[in-house]
Structure 1
Amino acid sequence: MDALNRAAPTATGRVTLPYWIGGFALIRTAAITFAVTAFATIAAVVTSYWKLQHARQDELVAQGLRDAARQSFVHVEAEKQDIRIYQPLFLDLRRRGFVGAESRLEWVEAIRQIQAARRLLPLTYQIEPQQPYKLAGRVATGEYQLRGSRMTVHMDLLHEMDLFDFLSDLRQRGVFTVQDCAMRRTASAGNAPLAPGLTADCTLNWLTLTPPAALRNPGLR
């Protein structure tokens, strides 16, 4: 059978081609069309797959940008909400001299005015140089620096309310902490109506939240 399928010479010397080669001419156009169509189909599939991957990457990038924009929007809205909540407090603290450069002249004037308004007995005080103030816990102050100036006060009192009124009025003029306060009765009170019956020695820490500009250019206002 194999011998029959092989090309064999005829009596005229011509070679007889196998039947499938002779019949290929009948399907040549269809075969070429199939090959071109298959190649085009494969190329289209590869191109579509490449474009799909590229589109997915573009989608991921777009989603990342959208998420970043959403987070930025939420952050801005949170900051606006914080400003609405804390702006009145910030303005009040700035009015009281807590935010900004240290102003000892305003403190001295505030003490004089309170003493005159309350008709307090003479008092003496001393303010030390300003230093960075460290809190027990960590407080985020950004570029601002929390600084404090220690002030020792000696007061003669008619009664203990003089001290409490003085500190209460002083707290409206600035921000400070009371480090310690000792009150003692005087032995020479006598019966004089304006003789001091008590003395008080207190240590206060005047606090300021100082901006960077004031740190670079220190000085009194």
Structure 2
Amino acid sequence: MKFTTRDLVKLQWPLLGALLLIALGSFAAWWSSNDAVFAQRQRDQASSRMLQIEQRLRQVRTEEQELRDRGAIFQRLQQSGIAGEERRLEWTELLDDIQRQLRIPGINYEFGIRKPLDNGGNPQYSYFASPMRIQLHLLHEEDLLRFLSRLQQEAKALVLIRNCTLAPPPGRGIGSDEPAHLVGECELRWITVRQSAGAS
């Protein structure tokens, strides 16, 4: 079978229709592929936003738990007397009580000026140290250990022992009226903590 020009003229409309259908099909395939890419991009963006929201929620929950923990710690510090203003009157009464209870023959002490300490990068709390020099007239070495142990347990502050020395009292001779056999001298620091102004 031979195609003639007449046959081509008769087939031009069906060929144009076929070409048009192919073009429409290609356009529909391109459009649908483009639409799928757009939908995937939107899904990725929504997933990214969801991930950011979940991370922020976890961060908020962590911060909330940290605040609760810090509040509980501060409350325990307040109950133990470490948190709040320094209570020198209570401290001196405690020193006198322990001296009486342990029957320590003599005690002399002097508090220094309270100084702020480095807060360790935590702006919510302010730490203070009150230095103290204490001299104890003792009958036995154990009296010093018992005294310091009781002081650390009962004080309404954190009592840090910087250093201590034990020596016989100066000028003690035979027939001396001095009841103490030893003199203990210590440097202590009374640490207190306060919640900074504006911290909740």
Structure-1-length-normalised TM-score: 0.67
For residues 67 and 169 of structure 1, the distance between their equivalents in structure 2, rounded to whole angstroms, comes to: 49
Residue pair 2:105, 2:179 contacting (<8 A) in 1 also: no
Residue pair 1:96, 1:175 contacting (<8 A) in 2 also: no
> How many angstroms does 1:55 deviate by?
1.7
Aligned length: 191
Question: Normalized per residue, which structure has more strand?
Answer: 2
For residues 95 and 164 of structure 2, the distance between their equivalents in structure 1, rounded to whole angstroms, comes to: 17
* 1:146-161 alignment, distance < 5 Å: 146-161=127-142
For residues 35 and 109 of structure 1, the distance between their equivalents in structure 2, rounded to whole angstroms, comes to: 100
Structure 1 runs not aligned, ≥5 long = 6-16, 215-221
What is the RMSD computed on CA atoms of the aligned residues? 3.7
For residues 33 and 11 of structure 2, the distance between their equivalents in structure 1, rounded to whole angstroms, comes to: 32
Structure 2 runs not aligned, ≥5 long = none
Residue pair 1:189, 1:195 contacting (<8 A) in 2 also: no
Q: Which residue of 2 aligns with 1:101?
A: 85
- Correspondence 1:212 to 2:196: yes
- Given the alignment, which residue of 172, 175, 187 partners 1:190? 175
> How many angstroms does 1:68 deviate by?
4.7
> How many angstroms does 1:20 deviate by?
2.6
> How many angstroms does 1:140 deviate by?
6.1
Q: Which residue of 2 aligns with 1:181?
A: 164
CA shift in 2, pair 1:128/1:29, >3 Å: same
Indicate the percent of aligned positions where both proteins have the same amino acid: 24
Structure-2-length-normalised TM-score: 0.73
Q: Which residue of 2 aligns with 1:127?
A: 111
**Structure 1 residues 157-200: Cα deviation after superposition (integer angstroms, max 9, x where no partner):** 232232222211111113222222222223057376x8222222
Q: Compare CA radii of gyration and give the structure with the larger one.
A: 1
> How many angstroms does 1:128 deviate by?
0.6
> How many angstroms does 1:148 deviate by?
0.9
Q: Which residue of 2 aligns with 1:14?
A: none
For residues 135 and 182 of structure 2, the distance between their equivalents in structure 1, rounded to whole angstroms, comes to: 11
For residues 122 and 73 of structure 2, the distance between their equivalents in structure 1, rounded to whole angstroms, comes to: 18
* 1:1-221 alignment, distance < 5 Å: 19-70=7-58, 75=62, 79=66, 83=69, 91=76, 93-133=77-117, 141=122, 143-172=124-153, 173=155, 174-186=157-169, 187-188=172-173, 190=175, 195-213=179-197
SS at match of 1:213: coil
Residue pair 2:109, 2:135 contacting (<8 A) in 1 also: yes
